[in-house]
Amino acid sequence: MSSEKPSLSTRHPQPEDLTRYAWLSIAAALLTIGLKGSAWLVTDSVGLLSDAAESLVNLVAAIVALVALRVVLLPPDRNHHYGHSKAEYFSAAVEGVMIFVAAGVILVASVERFLNPAPIENVGVGLLISVVASVVNGSVAFVLLRAGRRHRSITLTADGRHLLTDVWTSVGVVVGVVLVWLTGWDRLDPIVAFAVGINILVTGWGLIRSSTAGLMDISLPAEDNERIRGIIGRFTAEDIQFHAFRTRESGHRRFMEMHLLVPGAWSVQRGHDLAEDITDALLAEYPDLRVSCHLEPIEDPRSYEDIGI
């Protein structure tokens, strides 16, 4: 057994600064606001107006994401011993609420235009501008979703989903405008816009639900829990057991706790070395896992009073 242990900075590296992705999202929102606003002005399509309104919401959401990603970088302090990683869940919740706001604007505008239909003008120019804006949003959404998966950032994932929702909104709007142009039935435009608004509501609800689960200290996925149990199981024997196994997620950070039962006659050093070896094995598979191990004598009945935790 090596006496050299990884330093704290090696075991638990500082979170990476992901704010560059938020700035990318802000830039995309500003660009698409200009593009979609221009498309609405030249066509007078309520669908394109609702699309431009959602881009305004995207801008607010991207700014919130930037703030959250900055807060996440703050180290633990006297009032936040576990750091600030849960700020990401607030960002995702705000994203969900912003999507609800965008959907509300779309639904209200579509109903008003359905009751008071109006012809769409300059269809070709408007659609071309909208398609360019969709390509911008789709490209940025792909970057954010990939970064969100790689860095386990719910903020980037939520922002990516938000932008992807915007893309599907634009697709629906384009379809509506084309159908109006082909059929001459002006009410098709608000009908498609209303359907898009309902779809956006579903996406917003999904983001709010996932952020709430994180704030409630949801455990790691079942497959991860089983994998972690398997790693710990390599060290178990007749006189070495564990119980009170728990895991939780907090933004990009993951935590695991367990009670390790060893012979009471062992020295503190020997028990500590075993706990450190288990921790090293876990960190080899889960580098960002924070492990807390409580040593207990396996012969003491009091060691089993907390077995149901």
Higher pLDDT: 117 or 118? It is 117
pLDDT band of residue 150 (cuts 50, 70, 90) is confident
Would you state the pLDDT for residue 296?
A: 92
pLDDT band of residue 6 (cuts 50, 70, 90) is very low
Would you state the pLDDT for residue 259?
A: 93
Residue 164 tokens, joined: 């992807």
Would you state the pLDDT for residue 257?
A: 92
Would you state the pLDDT for residue 125?
A: 73
Q: What are phi and psi of 294, to 5 degrees?
A: -105, 120
Place of tokens 């580098």: 287
Nearest-angstrom CA–CA distance, 294 and 275: 9
Averaged pLDDT, 82-102? 77
Are 187 and 116 within 8 A, CB to CB? no
Q: What is the DSSP string of 188-245?
A: HHHHHHHHHHHHHHHHHHHHHHHHHHHHTTPPPPHHHHHHHHHHHHTT-BTTBEEEEE
Q: What is the DSSP string of 69-109?
A: HHHHTSPPBTTBTT-STTHHHHHHHHHHHHHHHHHHHHHHH
Residue 204 tokens, joined: 């917003």
Residue 221 burial by Cβ neighbours in a 10 Å radius (0-12, 13-18, 19+): exposed
DSSP type of residue 121: -
Would you state the pLDDT for residue 146?
A: 92
pLDDT band of residue 10 (cuts 50, 70, 90) is low
Q: Which of helix, strand or coil describes residue 260? A: strand
User: In b/e form, how buried is each residue of 5-43, taking b as 16+ CB within 10 angstroms?
Assistant: eeeeeeebeebeebbebbebbbebbebbbebbbbbbebb
- Residues of the chain by 3-state class (helix, strand, coil), percent to 5: 65, 10, 25
Mean pLDDT, the chain, integer: 81
Whether the pLDDT of residue 49 is over 50: the answer is: yes
Give per-residue pLDDT as tens, 167-196: 877 777 777 777 777 787 877 777 877 877
Q: Which of helix, strand or coil describes residue 34? A: helix
